[in-house]
Structure 1
Amino acid sequence: MVSISLCMIVKNEEDVLARCLDCVKDIVDEINIVDTGSTDRTVEIAKEYTDRIFHAEWNGFAPARNESFSHATKEYIFYLDADDILTEEDQKKLKKLKETLDPAVDSVSMFYNAGTDEFGNVTLQYRRNRLVKTAKNFRWEGEVHNYLNVSGNIINSDIAITHKKTGHSVGRNLNIYKMKLERGDVFGARDHFYYGNELRENGHYEEAIESYTKNIEMTEGWVEDKIYACINRGDCYRFLGDLDNELKSLFHSFVFSKTPRAETCSRIGYNFQRKKEFQSAIYWYTLATQIVPDENRWSFSYPAYHTWYPHLQMCVCYDRIGEAEKAYFHNEEARKYRPNDKSILSNKAYFDKKLGKTE
């Protein structure tokens, strides 16, 4: 059995820290917490779980995470944010991994469930190197959207870390990027992609389109970022009411993905739906439901786009062309994922009455 050091950075996390530590306190062998200036009860709560509490001035996420890693004394480092949790099922999987992991493994990737809806469905998922060998001295890099630079023998697990955030720092990362531009930093493809994301999320759609386009046109960069640069650029065009360029950007993503993604197909379907081209919309929504994401893919995955969302939209499309039975079927498929969704239940009541259906 390998030994594990939990390494965390915290600041003013009194509302969530205990919830996080309770999930892993009986699995890890050591808890290292670096506090970067809390003014609430964070440190007091941390002391209930460990005496390995360290203090550091805030100098950015990467330096803080590297500082936390420097205190690890066990064979492997496991990291969490204070607003992360492991479900009971994932706690069991982590315990089993600890008992069976081959020490020759340098890193274990795990799913990161970065968002969930009110019904418990994962809305955003991607992989991260989550358990790494201490002796390899892997380092965090990047000023914004930092990443752990890992190499060697990496395996993928089905363990998921679930993010349960209580707030969001609106505009923080966008301001960091603007400061980088003001001081003359040269942006690479990754910078343009994430700067585009920050611009889009803050409503600066024209600037986001420009940043995504720079990413797409560069020969360097991760192909997965280019796929989502096309998709996200399409979203920006949609927000601006430019449906033609939205569709062009979505189709452009196929240059990089080679085969369609559900995230793209559902958006293409919605583009045609808004044009009242319902048969074309149904074609693309149907394709979206047939695409099963590769579990070993490291980029973003938005499960709604191959589960409830295209079914709900097909319900609308079939209703518009007078095929009530098919509309009812797809509403029921959507209801499997969101059983208490008010709009889906309203649809059900409408079709039950229209079709004379009874439970």
Structure 2
Amino acid sequence: MITISLCMIVKNEEEVLERCLDSVKDLVDEINIVDTGSTDKTVEIAKKYTDRVFFFEWTGKFKDARNESFKYATKDYILYLDADDVLMEEDREKFKLLKETLDPEVDSVSMYYNAGIDEYGNVTLRYRRNRLLKRSRQFQWHGDVHNYIAVWGNIINSDIAVTHLKKKHAVGRNLSIYKEKIANGDPFSPRDYFYYGNELRENQYYKEAIESYTKNIEMAEGWVEDKIYACMFRADCHRVLGNNKEELRSLLMSLSFSKIPRPEVCSRIGYQFQQQKDYQSAIFWYELATNLPDDPNRWSFTYPAYSTWYPHLQLCVCYYQLNDIEKSYEHNEKAREYRPTDERILNNKKLLENKLKTISQET
């Protein structure tokens, strides 16, 4: 059976670190924690779980700290987590089985990253990451902010998920790192433009975000998945700014990269037609969003809401506007499967049941 070193970087994580370590302490053979300058009880908590607590002066680049943490690993494989990550019980069991059965010739195991969870337990954002890495391959982190590991060789995809349970969001932190890169005259890769666009959008600098996404899209280099989502997110910025034609143009451009439409695009296009009161066209796109097959091996972002409760809820509205109450009720019920206590859906349910009752009495 393989052995595993857990490697983490932390700073002021007293609220979440214990929860993280409790979820994995019995799954790994070694815990290495690199602190980058905590002023709370983070180090004290870490030392309850391991005597392998190290210190590293923050350089302003996450890749430096993450690569430093990997230096302390001594076991066959490296598992990395952030302090606000956990393995849920179902995934703990899958992880145990993986550890018992993994072929030591495997260089990396990818796992899902459930980067967001809503109040109903639905995953809001999911993507794959190379999560369990063969130490002897000496894989390295790259990128100043949104890091990635350059991995090659024998890679397998597992159905294990690491779940991100964030308690706070460092607003503006990543944006300031990118602005420092610009001030220093550092070159931007297509990936940098994509993630800089994301930071700008999340901080409501929509015009600047559009410019950054456009630079990503127009560069010949870069991952096609980033370009697909750059088109979508650029469209979102245009919608906020009231540029409806540019929004639709950007959404349709995503199809030139994806070839097959994504639920995230279909639902956005559906909403455009819905706002124009073109309900039949909206229905086409919303229904397409619910019927597209999921690809479990996709590495890029996946937002499950756009293929589940959201298009069903909008279909409820569209069919209601067309006076098809049965279809409206049917889709509201499908949305309710995902959000059972959502007040909007419950209000729809009450209204539609009264409508159906009236129709039944009239016939």
TM-score if structure 2 supplies the norm length? 0.97
SS of residue in 1 equivalent to 2:40: coil
Matches within 5 A, 1:78-227: 78-227=79-228
| SS of corresponding position for 1:63 | helix
Identify the residue that residue 356 of structure 1 maps to in structure 2: 357
Cα shift readout 1:43-75 (whole Å, capped 9, x = no counterpart):
111111111111111112111111111000000
8 Å Cα contact 1:293/1:301 also seen in 2: no
Matched, 1:345 2:328: no
Give, in whole Å, the separation in 1 of the partners of 2:136 and 2:99: 17
Q: Which whole-Å deviations, capped at 9, do the CAs of 1:77-107 have from their partners, x for residues lacking one? A: 0011010011100000000000000000000
AA aligned to 1:333 is K
* Secondary structure of the corresponding residue to residue 125 of structure 1: strand
Report what 2:70 is aligned to: 69
Alpha-carbon distance in structure 2 between the residues aligned to 1:174 and 1:18: 29
Partners of 1:175 and 1:80 lie apart in 2 by 24
What corresponds to 1:240 in structure 2? 241
- Distance in 1 (CA, whole Å) between partners of 2:10 and 2:182 is 28
Gaps of 5+ in 2: none
Cα distance, 1:210 vs structure 2 = 1.1
Correspondence for 2:22: 22
Pair 1:3-2:3 in alignment? yes
Matched, 1:12 2:12: yes
Which amino acid in structure 2 is aligned with residue 30 of structure 1? E
* Whole-angstrom CA distance in 1 between matches of 2:200 and 2:13: 27
AA at the equivalent of 2:113: Y
Q: Which amino acid aligns with 1:47?
A: K
Q: Give the 3-state SS of the residue equivalent to 1:356 in structure 2.
A: helix
Which whole-Å deviations, capped at 9, do the CAs of 1:130-183 have from their partners, x for residues lacking one? 000001110111111011111111100000000000101111111111111122
Q: Is the aligned partner of 1:38 residue 2:68?
A: no
Matched letter for residue 180 of structure 1 = K
Partner of 2:326: 325
Q: CA separation in 1, counterparts of 2:239 and 2:344? A: 23
Q: How many residues align?
A: 358
Q: For the aligned residues, what is the CA RMSD?
A: 1.1
Q: Which amino acid is 1:197 matched to?
A: N
Structure 2 counterpart of 1:36, which letter?
T
Equivalent residue of 2:162, what SS? strand
Instruction: State the alpha-carbon separation in 2 of the partners of residues 17 and 324 from structure 1.
Output: 50
Stretches of 4+ aligned residues off by more than 2 angstroms: none
Does the CA-based 8 Å contact 1:112-1:126 persist in structure 2? Answer: yes
Question: Secondary structure in 1 aligned to 2:352?
Answer: helix
SS at match of 2:73: coil
- Three-state SS of the structure 1 residue aligned to 2:141 is strand
176-185 or 343-352, which moves further after superposition? 176-185
Give, in whole Å, the separation in 2 of the partners of 1:180 and 1:30: 35
Deviates more, 1:46-55 or 1:278-287: 46-55
Q: CA deviation at 1:292?
A: 2.1
Deviates more, 1:168-177 or 1:107-116: 168-177
1:274-285 map, 5 Å: 274-285=275-286
Instruction: Give the secondary structure class of the aligned counterpart of 1:190.
Output: helix
| Residue 38 of structure 1, CA deviation | 1.1
Q: Distance in 1 between matches of 2:206 and 2:240?
A: 8
**Structure 1 residue 354, shift from structure 2 partner:** 1.4
Which shows bigger deviation, 315-324 or 282-291? 315-324
Letter in 2 for 1:309: Y
The answer to whether the aligner puts 1:56 opposite 2:82 as a matched pair is: no
Aligned partners of 2:246, 2:125: CA distance in 1, in Å? 25
Asked if the contact 1:261/1:291 (under 8 Å) is kept, the reply is yes
Give the Cα–Cα distance (whole angstroms) in 2 for the partners of residues 81 and 195 of structure 1.
21
Aligned partners of 1:111 and 1:48: how far apart in 2? 28
Q: Distance in 2 between matches of 1:301 and 1:333?
A: 20
Letter in 1 for 2:139: F
Give me the whole-angstrom Cα distance separating, in 1, the residues matched to 2:19 and 2:152.
32
